[in-house]
C-alpha cells in the first residue's frame, strides 16, 4: 500500500530533522522510493528548534519513528543523545542517519560512502590520487575519512585554517602521513591545484541563490583535473560550468545526495530503492528537467 496515496493505522514514519528544513530534498526522494516499492511508510520533515533537540530525540522513541535523517545544524550535536554510533561516524564526528530499533537509536554517516559511490560510478577512480578539498565542515570530514583509505594525498584548505589543520591531524592519526591542512587563500589554491588530480568543493559558495559565484577563479583550473562539487542546487554550479569550459571531467552533488539517501533507506527498510526514480524526482522538483 502506498503511503503517499493512503496513510493507514499501520503506516510507519521516516523523517528528516534540521533547522531550517524547507530546502531539504529528502522527503521528495524518499517518498518517491516508498511509492515505487509500494511500502506503507511516509517520510516527513521536522523543523526542530535547537533548544528542543533533546526532546525531539525522546519523541523519536515515544512515537516509534523508524528512521531519521539529520541535517544542519544537528549532525554533530545530536550524537550525545543517541544509543550507538558506528565507528566511521565517530571518526567523522557527525551522523546523518538514525535507525530506531524498538527504542534503541543507532546512527551512521552515509555522506562519505554516497560520495565515494558517485565518484566510482562516474568512472573517477581516486586510488593513489592527490585530492584537494575546499572546506573542512561536515561534508569535507565525511568525504575525507572515506577517500583517505585509497588516496595518495589529501590537502584540505579552509577559511578557518585551524579546522583544516585539525582535520588533517585526525586523518594522519587514522591513516598515516599524507594529509595537510591549509588556509583558504588564492596563493595556496594556485599552488595546490597544480599538484591535484581531483578537486572537491564542499563550501556553499555557488549554492542557490548565489548561483553566479564560484569558490575559486576559473583561471587556475587545468584540464587534467577532475572537479567534484558537492552542491546539487543548482545541478550545474558556476564551478562546474567553468571546469567544463576548461576541459575538466566533472561531477555535481546530486548523485552523492541520492546515494546517501538510498543507503539510509536500505538500512531502514532492508530494501534497495530505485536510485534513478529518486534522482529524477529531485531533478523534476528543482525544475531542471
Ligand atoms: P558546514 O559543516 O557548515 O561547513 C561549511 C564549510 O564551508 C566550512 O568549511 C566553512 O568554513 C566553509 N565556508 C562557508 N562559507 C564560506 C565562504 N563564504 N567562504 C569560504 N568558506 C566558506 O556545512 P556542510 O555540511 O559541510 O555542507 C557544505 C555544503 O555541502 C552545503 O552546500 C551542503 O548543501 C552540501 N552538501 C551536499 C551533500 C550532498 O549529498 N551532495 C551532502 C552534505 C552537504 P569555516 O570553517 O571557515 O566556517
Interatomic CA distance for residues 52 and 182, integer angstroms: 36
Q: Is residue 220 part of a domain?
A: yes
User: Is residue 199 domain-shared with residue 273, that is, in the same domain?
Assistant: no
Q: Is residue 242 part of a domain?
A: yes
Q: Is residue 2 part of a domain?
A: no
Instruction: Name the pairing type of β-strands 104-108 and 97-101.
Output: antiparallel
Active site residue 75: yes
- Residue ranges lining ligand 1, Cβ < 6 Å: 72, 111, 135-140, 158-160, 163, 184, 202-205, 207, 230-232, 253, 256-257, 260
User: Is residue 221 domain-shared with residue 126, that is, in the same domain?
Assistant: yes
User: Is residue 214 domain-shared with residue 143, that is, in the same domain?
Assistant: yes
User: Is residue 77 domain-shared with residue 197, that is, in the same domain?
Assistant: no
Residue 110: what pLDDT? Answer: 98
User: Could you tell me the residue range of the domain that residue 240 belongs to?
Assistant: 112-252
Interatomic CA distance for residues 218 and 231, integer angstroms: 17
Interatomic CA distance for residues 203 and 4, integer angstroms: 34
pTM of the model: 0.95
Give phi and psi for 107, each to the nearest 5: -135, 150
Cell triple for 207: 549554492
The segments of the chain whose pLDDT lies below 50 read 1-3
Cα Rg of the chain (Å, integer): 19
Q: Please tell me the distance between residue 7's alpha carbon and the centre of ligand 1 in angstroms.
A: 36
| pLDDT per residue as tens digits for the range 11-34 | 999 999 999 999 999 999 999 999
Q: Is residue 4 part of a domain?
A: no
Q: Please tell me the distance between residue 136's alpha carbon and the centre of ligand 1 in angstroms.
A: 8
Pick from 287, 228, 289, 238: which is nearest to 259 by CA? Answer: 228
For residue 265, give the CATH number of its domain. 3.40.50.10860
| pLDDT per residue as tens digits for the range 80-92 | 999 999 999 999 9
Total number of domains in the chain: 2
Which atom of ligand 1 sits closest to the CA of residue 139?
Answer: 26
Amino acid at each position: 500500500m502506498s503511503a503517499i496515496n493512503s496513510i493507514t493505522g499501520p503506516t510507519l514514519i521516516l523523517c528528516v530533522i534540521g533547522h531550517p528544513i524547507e530546502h531539504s530534498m529528502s522527503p521528495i526522494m524518499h517518498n518517491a522510493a516508498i511509492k515505487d516499492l509500494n511500502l506503507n511508510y511516509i517520510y516527513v520533515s521536522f523543523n526542530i528548534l535547537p533548544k528542543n533537540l533533546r526532546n525531539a530525540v525522546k519523541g523519536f522513541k515515544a512515537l516509534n519513528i523508524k528512521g531519521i535523517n539529520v541535517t544542519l545544524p544537528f549532525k554533530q550535536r545530536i550524537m550525545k543523545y543517541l544509543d550507538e554510533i558506528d565507528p566511521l561516524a565517530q571518526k567523522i564526528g557527525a551522523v546523518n542517519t538514525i535507525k530506531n530499533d524498538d527504542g534503541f537509536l543507532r546512527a551512521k554517516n552515509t555522506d562519505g560512502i554516497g560520495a565515494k559511490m558517485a565518484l566510482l560510478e562516474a568512472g573517477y577512480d581516486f586510488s593513489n590520487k592527490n585530492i584537494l578539498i575546499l572546506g573542512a565542515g561536515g561534508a569535507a570530514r565525511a568525504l575525507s575519512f572515506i577517500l583517505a583509505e585509497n588516496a595518495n594525498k589529501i590537502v584540505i584548505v579552509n577559511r578557518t585554517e585551524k579546522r583544516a589543520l585539525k582535520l588533517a591531524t585526525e586523518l594522519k592519526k587514522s591513516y598515516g602521513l599524507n594529509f595537510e591542512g591549509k588556509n583558504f587563500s588564492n596563493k595556496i589554491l594556485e599552488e595546490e591545484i597544480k599538484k591535484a588530480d581531483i578537486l572537491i568543493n564542499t563550501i556553499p559558495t555557488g549554492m542557490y541563490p548565489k548561483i553566479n559565484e564560484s569558490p575559486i577563479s576559473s583561471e587556475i583550473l587545468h584540464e587534467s583535473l577532475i572537479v567534484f562539487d558537492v552542491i546539487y542546487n543548482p545541478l550545474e554550479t558556476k564551478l562546474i560550468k567553468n571546469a567544463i569550459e576548461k576541459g575538466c571531467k566533472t561531477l555535481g552533488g546530486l548523485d552523492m545526495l541520492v546515494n546517501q539517501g538510498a543507503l539510509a533507506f536500505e538500512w531502514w527498510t532492508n530494501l534497495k530503492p530505485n536510485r534513478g526514480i529518486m534522482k529524477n524526482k529531485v531533478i523534476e522538483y528543482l525544475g531542471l528537467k
